[in-house]
Chain A
Amino acid sequence: MDPATKRPVQGSAKLVMDSYAEYALEVAIQLKEKHPGSKVVAICVGDKPTDDVLRRAYALTADEAVRVWDPAWADLDSQAVAHILARTIQKLGGADLVLTGREAGDIERGVVGPTLAEELGCACATIVARVEAVEGGTAVVRREVDGGYALVSTRLPAVLTITNDETNVPRLPKVKDLMMAARKPITTLGAADLDLDPARLASPLELVDLYIPVQEGQCEIIEGDDGPAKAAALARRLHELKLV
């Protein structure tokens, strides 16, 4: 973490695909397998090192990869990213389904997907665990809700934000696809290629502080000769502390 800019320092760490984006890509690949003739395009907003992420998408059999970047975009917030993605998707001719991760794994805002739907003026379903069916301009999806699941029907085109589920655990790429991915072309687009609204790229928020919280908490380790002795001692402490 850089104390001056209040931003994490990448150092020598390699960029990887966001974990929820990986689930979203897996859902897209499964849909492609189920609906022959459909095409999966991976889009990423980022500078040159982001190509690694798109190569991974190619290795997982995405059909096209597009990287969007402009050197002036050092500090984009989620609303700005959604705006850029929307203009990119429009530039590419639109999509029936736009899949995003439910939220970014690092700053976890969950803003990009729903904002992207508003930007595109299309339908939106969030925290989608499964796409059950896509037919006749409608998708039926299973989403998480408080205390369970809901079946949701959504008109296409739609933005779905994808969460992890046992049906969409990302597959491992085949060696052949990994090798081919290295040679596939990545389309790059910049600000000049897109019809962007500068007002939507400026963040309406200011980061004024970033700190690492101190973990207080002294853990009392329960001693005992063996498992049963420790169990008995723990039960006693729980009772003394009126925790059960």
Chain B
Amino acid sequence: MQNVLVYAGADQGALTKSAREALGAGRRLADALGATLAAVVVAADTDALAQEAIACGADRVYAVANPILSEYQPDLWVAALEAAARAASPDVVLITGDTAGKELAPRLAFRLRAGILTEVSAVAVEGGTVRWTRPVYGGKAMAVYTAKGPVVIGLRARMHDPAAPAEGRRGEVVRVELSVSPELAATRIVEKIQQALGGVRLEDARIIVAGGRGIGGPEGFKDLEALARDLGGAVGASRAACDAGWVSASLQIGQTGATVAPDLYIAIGISGASQHLAGITGAKTVIAINKDPDAPIFKRATLGVVADYKTVLPHLHAELKRILGK
């Protein structure tokens, strides 16, 4: 029997999509191990979050509630997770694959003297042993690990099916006392600046039009933005285009930058380096437009056009507008 604890992060009073992915992965793991699934929620008021975590599969919820926890601050959150983990003594802690989870997971592992593995994309149980799979070397290879002791697992975003809340599920709520002072927050988030180009968040977009080095400059991205807008999607970019300063680094998709999982990914002038492909492993259908027939992107794509994108894009945009009746 092993204990599984999931950090269920929240935003504006509701569990995040990453939290539901972690709960989904946690529930499947607990079932495979015959273990109970515990979750930890951290907020000023945890009542609704605890019930949501139970509906999403938690058997027991450790609720760390304190007025000081009204907004995410990493130092306070590490302390809260540590307190919950001490109460739960888990063998496995699953941490969400968002930016908060990425900084929390290693710090929690240090405090629990546990091992750490991040970007885990698949979880399997064989003969009672958990096998954790993650991409390495920019997605060129997959590595499988087992843990010799307690371990903190950072989950890769958008790789685990999210839990669907089920009304009427029952679970237990355990309150965890946390005595912290605001002084503990050595690092404080002062201000958040949201950037949403075309109005759709890259991570949530169903359709993404992405450009790379082949776009040739910032002007070309305006055409990509126009197409994305008409398709109700978002614009993304490869690292080459971001490093060149053609678009903001917040549009970067790949091993660093966003991990996306749209239904349709239109890669324009993107060669498809493994580091870029690592960010689109969750994309359902990839379309590639590239003048180099040997570009690796065509190995990942379902449909491909070998041409200079400038000769294709205006007509493609016009045709799609006609089809969509715009």
Question: Which residues of chain A have a CB within 8 Å of any CB of chain B?
Answer: 1, 6, 8, 20, 78-79, 102-103, 105-111, 113-115, 117-119, 122-127, 129, 140, 144-155, 158, 163-166, 169, 203-213, 215, 217-222, 226-228, 230-232, 234-239, 241, 243-244
With contacts A105-B138, A126-B102, A206-B146 known, is A244 near B323, CB below 8 A? yes
Interface of A (DSSP majority class): mixed
Within 8 Å of chain A (Cβ to Cβ): is B292?
no
- How near does chain A come to B323, taking the closest CB pair, in angstroms? 5
- How near does chain B come to A59, taking the closest CB pair, in angstroms? 21
Contacts between chains A and B (CB distance < 8 A), count? 255
Residue of B nearest to A160 (CB): B187
With contacts A219-B303, A220-B303 known, is A210 near B136, CB below 8 A? yes
Interface size for B (C-beta < 8 A) is 88
In residues 219-258 of chain B, which contact A (Cβ within 8 Å)? 231, 239, 242-243, 245, 249-250, 255-256
Contact A150 B192 (CB under 8 A): yes
With contacts A164-B249, A210-B136, A213-B142 known, is A140 near B190, CB below 8 A? yes
User: Which residues of B are found within 8 Å of A78, using beta-carbon distances?
Assistant: 106, 116
User: Which residues of B are found within 8 Å of A123, using beta-carbon distances?
Assistant: 75, 186-187
Interface of B (DSSP majority class): mixed
Within 8 Å of chain A (Cβ to Cβ): is B193?
yes
In the complex, A219 Cα to B290 Cα: how many Å?
A: 13
Within 8 Å of chain A (Cβ to Cβ): is B65?
no
User: Which residues of A are found within 8 Å of B111, using beta-carbon distances?
Assistant: 118
In residues 56-108 of chain B, which contact A (Cβ within 8 Å)? 74-75, 98-99, 102-103, 105-107
In the complex, A221 Cα to B306 Cα: how many Å?
A: 7
Contact A235 B302 (CB under 8 A): no
Contact B192 A148 (CB under 8 A): yes
- How near does chain A come to B160, taking the closest CB pair, in angstroms? 17
The 5 nearest A-B residue pairs measured at CB: A227-B311, A204-B115, A235-B319, A231-B315, A123-B186
| A79, A155, A169, A227, most chain B CB atoms within 10 A | A227
In the complex, A147 Cα to B135 Cα: how many Å?
A: 24
